[in-house]
Amino acid sequence: MKRIKFLVPALALFVLFGCGNGGMDEEAPVLDGVQDTAVTVGEDFDPLQGVTATDDIDGDLTEAISIEGTYDLEAEGEYDLVLKVVDQAGNESSQTMKLTVNGSPYGTVSGNITYNEMSTPDTDSRVLLIPQGVDFNDTDMTLYLNGFKTDDQLGVYSTNVDVDGNYELAGVEPGDYFIFVQSENTQNEFVDMEIPAEFSEVFSENNIQTLLVNASFNKGIIETITIEAGQDSDFNYDFGY
């Protein structure tokens, strides 16, 4: 009987200490898919996309992931975001994600066109950016200058001018361009194209005046402009003649 009394406390000790942690959950959840990310200004971003959290006891804890830190998708910079998840036992896992917001690889040109009584600021008025060095004798380019868009964009950017004379050309590849302003002539008269002296030889070689005669729009080659990545450029013009 004495041996039986000795075995009872021994069994109790085994239950208390021989079972490891006594059934307590001490293992933290596992975060997976957290990685540094780079986006451009204005691009959509979801810090939880592709990220999951699992726990050996609680199972899928993806919906319980929290985010600490702030970021601005409209401002260039680097942002540290901490993703955390806690299971029901209070075990916590965290990982840091570095978000880099880069400047846009494109440029933007915006401004205002002022009209007089011979021009109407309707949807037939537009601004064109045409790459310097383009072949103005190209058939597609001729059609473009005469108010018809073609399937072959030729690196040309075009936008209509609204009723207040405002316009914006966004997503422009960096480079050097000529700016054309086109506006419908309500009196069906053509005006001389404005050609800065430094460009007169370029345009005379490409027979621009012939394009004017065949065009349904008045045109003004105003100046050259350089588009830089991530930069906004303003261009305003008084369409007076």
Asked if residue 78 lies in contact with residue 139, where contact means CB atoms within 8 angstroms, the answer is no
State the residue range of the domain holding 137: 107-239
113 & 224 share domain: yes
Whole-model pTM over 0.85: no
In a domain? residue 20 = no
Amino acid letter at 19?
C
145 & 37 share domain: no
Asked if residue 60 lies in contact with residue 52, where contact means CB atoms within 8 angstroms, the answer is yes
In a domain? residue 125 = yes
24-74 pLDDT tens trace: 889 999 999 999 999 988 889 999 999 999 999 999 999 999 999 999 998
In a domain? residue 32 = yes
CATH of residue 64's domain is 2.60.40.10
**Alpha-carbon radius of gyration of the chain:** 34
Nearest to 142 by CA among 125, 124, 162, 156: 156
122 & 166 share domain: yes
Q: Which pLDDT belongs to residue 51?
A: 98
pLDDT band at 181 (very low <50, low <70, confident <90, very high): confident
DSSP per residue, 5-56: HHHHHHHHHHHHHTTTTTT---PPPEEE----EEEETT----TTTT-EEEET
Total domains, the chain: 2
CATH of residue 233's domain is 2.60.40.1120
62 CA to centre of own chain: 29
- Examine the fold and report which residue of 71, 102, 133 is the final residue of a domain before the chain moves on: 102
